Amino acid sequence: MLPYPSSDASGESVSDPQSATPDKIRIIGGQQLKGTIPISGAKNAALKVMCAALLTDESLYLENMPNTLRDIASQTELLTHLGCTLSAEGDLMAINAKNVNELTAPYEIVRKMRGSILVLGPLLARFGEAKVSLPGGCAIGTRPVDLHIKGLEELGAEINLEGGYINAKAPKGLTGAKITFPKVSVGATENLMMAATLAKGETVLSNAAREPEIADLGECLVKMGAKIEGLGTDTIRIEGVKNLSGAHHSVLPDRIETGTYLIAAGMAGGTLKLQNARIEHLSAVMGLLAQAGMEIDQSGNDIIVHRNGLRLKGIDIMTEPYPGFPTDLQAQFMAMLTLAEGAAMVTENIFENRFMHVPELNRMGADITVQGNSAIIRGVKKLKGAEVMATDLRASVALVLAGLVAEGETVVNRIYHLERGYENIVEKLQGCGAQVEKTA
Ligand code: EPZ
C-alpha cells in the first residue's frame, strides 16, 4: 500500500492535463475485435471518493483508481490547491486532508470539470464554510446546481451567489433534515450525502439517485465511520457523526467503459472478454444488446461478448436515471444503431443538448434526424471514414466506435475529451486487433 502521503508527492504521478502532445486518433476501420480488455475503476465514483477525503483529517487509501484520466488530474489539482496531500502509484491513491488551508475552489479549476462541485458539501460540513465557483453550462446542456444549493440550505447552510461563486456558511455546523429532491440528481445526492455525514442528527434524502457510483461512495463513507442506510435505493438515511476517520476503499469497475466496449464488439464483430466488470450494473443495456442480436455471457467477474457476422437489429432506447438506460451510453448506442437493420429511435431525457455526435456521424454516412429530444436513426449498410470532432467525452468515443467499422480512415480530433474518461483506450483497442493510433 502507498505510504502516508507527503506534501512532496502531491499527485505527481497523476497525469498532467497539459502534457499530452498527440491530439488526434487515426483509425483504419474494418477489423474484428478479438481479445481481453481490463476494465478500469469508475471515473464517476473515483472523482467523488476523492472528495470524501475532505471529511476527515486521516488518510484515505483508494484502490482501483483510474489514475491516468485527465478528470482525476483535475480533481487532484483542486484537492492539492485546498491543501490536501495526494500520492498516486499505478491504480492506488492516498489522500490526506489534515492540512486543508484553503476553502475556495477557484473558477480556473472548476471550469475544467463539473465534478469539482462535489467539494462543496464536504468542505462545508467539516469547516463550516466553503466558496466554490459555479461550474456554468457545458456542451451537453445548462446543467444547473440549484438542487445542491437548496439541499445544503435545508441542512441549515446560509448560501449566497456572488461574482460567479457559491458562498456557503454554516458556522454552527449543519443540521439533519428531510430533503425530497424534485428531480433525480446524481451530483446533488452525493453532495448532500457527504454533507449529512457530519451534520447533527438524521438526514433523509428522498427521490435520491440510485446510480451504483453513489452506493460506492456511500460504502466508502461507511468505512470512514459514517452511518448510512438505504444505499442503492431512492431513500437514503444518514445519521450524522462527530468525526470520520481514514479508510481503505476499492473503487467499483466502470460500467460506462464496460458498456462502451460491449457496443464496440457489437459494431466491429468478434469476441471480447471484459475483465473485472459488473454485469449487474448494466441490466438495462444487456437486454437491449441481446435484443439487437449480441451474445453476452458472464464468467466470474468477466463478461464475454460475441457477435457473429449477422447484422444487428434496430432497437428504440430512452435514457433514464439508474436503473434505466444511462445517458452516458446514449451516443455509443446510437453509433451502433447507424448500422443496424431498420429504423430506431433514441430519446434523451437527462440532458437537453446531448446529440452533438449526430452531425459528425452523419458526415460519416449515417442517416440520423433529430426532432427535439429524440433522434430517428435509419440503418445504413456502411459508414465511411472522415475527419471528425466532438465536444464531449461520450460523443468522442462514439466517433471512435464508428471509425472502427467505417470504410477507410477516420481521424478523431481533440482526443482531450477521450482522455478525460477512458484509460488507455488506444492501447486497449490495439490489443484486440483494432488499427488505431494516436497522432499529432
Ligand atoms: C453525473 O453528472 C455524471 N457526472 C454524468 O457523467 C452523468 O451523465 C450524469 O450524472 C447522469 O447520470 C459525474 O458523475 C461527474 P445529474 P451530474 O445531477 O451529477 C439536472 C460523463 O460523461 N440538474 O444527475 O451533473 C441536470 O441539468 C458525465 O461521465 C438540475 O436541474 O448529473 C440534468 O438535466 C457527463 N439541478 C439532470 O438534473 C441540479 O442542481 C441530471 O443531472 C443538478 C442537476
**Are residues 265 and 301 located together in one domain of the fold?**
yes
- pLDDT at position 206 is 98
Is 52 found in the same domain as 25? no
- Residues flanking ligand 1, CB < 6 Å: 44, 47, 114-115, 141, 143-148, 183, 185-188, 209, 327-328, 350-351, 393-394, 421
Is 311 in the same domain as 409?
A: yes
Residue 7, pLDDT score: 35
pLDDT beyond 90 at 8: no
Residue 3 lies in a domain: no
Nearest to 26 by CA among 387, 270, 392: 387
What grid cell was written down for 226?
459514517
Grid cell in block for residue 42? 469508475
CATH of the domain at 286: 3.65.10.10
If asked whether residues 404 and 261 sit together in one domain, one would say yes
**Per-residue pLDDT band at 139 (split at 50, 70, 90):** confident
372 and 434 fall within a common domain: yes
182 and 78: one domain? Answer: yes
Q: What is the mean pLDDT of residues 271-285?
A: 97
Residue 23 domain flag: yes
Which residues have CB under 8 Å from 11's CB, separation 6+? 73, 76, 77, 79, 80, 86, 87, 88
pLDDT for 321-369, tens place per residue?
A: 999 999 999 999 999 999 999 999 999 999 988 999 999 999 999 999 9
What is the grid cell recorded at 181? 429532491
Residue where a domain terminates, one of 250, 270, 305: 250
DSSP one-letter code for 138: B
Residue 1 lies in a domain: no
Q: Clarify whether 138 is annotated catalytic.
A: yes
Q: What is the pLDDT of residue 1?
A: 45
**Contact predicate 389/413, CB 8 Å:** yes
Task: Please name the helix (run of DSSP H) or strand (run of DSSP E) that holds residue 29, with its range, or none.
Answer: none
Domain of residue 270 covers: 11-39+253-439
Per-residue model confidence (pLDDT) at position 193: 98
Q: Which residue CA neighbors atom 31 of ligand 1 most closely?
A: 144
Q: Output the residue whose Cα is nearest ligand 1's atom 44.
A: 185
Q: Are 69 and 34 within one domain?
A: no
Of the pLDDT bands very low, low, confident and very high (cuts 50, 70, 90), residue 136 is low
- The atom number, within ligand 1, closest to the CA of 47 reads 15
Residue 130 falls inside a structural domain: yes
Distance CA 352, CA 217 (A): 27
Instruction: Give a yes or no: residue 221 inside a domain.
Output: yes
What is the mean pLDDT of the segment spanning 106-112?
A: 92
More confident residue, 308 or 345: 345
Q: How far is the CA of 393 from the centre of ligand 1 (A)?
A: 14
User: How far is ligand 1, taken at its centre, from the CA of residue 99, in Å?
Assistant: 30
Instruction: Give, using CA atoms, the residue closest to atom 5 of ligand 1.
Output: 328
Q: Could you tell me if 287 and 368 lie in one domain?
A: yes
pLDDT for 363: 97
DSSP states of 204-227: EEES----HHHHHHHHHHHHTT-E
For residues 211 and 332, membership in a common domain is answered with no
In the structure, what pLDDT confidence band is assigned to residue 137 with cuts at 50, 70 and 90?
low
For residue 16, being part of any structural domain is answered with: yes
**Domain's final residue, options 250, 268, 296:** 250
d(CA 28, CA 22): 17
First to last CA, the chain: 37
Peptide bond into 144 cis (omega under 30): no
- Counting Cα atoms < 13 Å in the Cβ hemisphere of 347 gives 6
In this predicted model, what pLDDT tens digit does every residue of 145-174 receive, in sequence order? 999 999 999 999 999 999 999 999 999 999
User: How many Å apart are CA 157 and CA 125, to the nearest integer?
Assistant: 9
Give percent of the chain with pLDDT exceeding 70. Answer: 95
Interatomic CA distance for residues 165 and 169, integer angstroms: 13
Residue 296 has a pLDDT of 95
User: Where among 250, 269, 293 does a domain terminate?
Assistant: 250
How many CA atoms, within 13 angstroms, populate the side-chain half-sphere of residue 202? Answer: 8
Write out pLDDT tens, residues 33-65. 999 999 999 999 999 999 999 999 999 999 999
The answer on pLDDT for 18 being more than 50 is: no
Does 224 lie in the same domain as 323? no
Q: Does residue 308 surpass a pLDDT of 50?
A: yes
Number of structural domains found in the chain: 2
Q: Give residues with Cβ within 8 angstroms of 419, minimum separation 6.
A: 15, 20, 69, 70
- How much is the mean pLDDT over the chain? 93
Is residue 6 included in any domain, yes or no?
no
Ligand 1 pocket mutation pick from 78, 110, 143 by most atoms within 8 angstroms of CB: 143
Determine, yes or no, domain membership for 4: no
Q: Are 84 and 158 within one domain?
A: yes
Q: pLDDT by residue (tens digit) across 227-264? A: 999 999 999 999 999 999 999 999 999 999 999 999 99
User: For the residues of 222-255, what is the DSSP string, one character each?
Assistant: HHTT-EEE-TTSSEEEEE--S----EEEEPPB-H
Q: Clarify whether residues 182 and 65 are in a common domain.
A: yes
Which tens digits make up the pLDDT trace of 418-440? 999 999 999 999 999 999 999 98
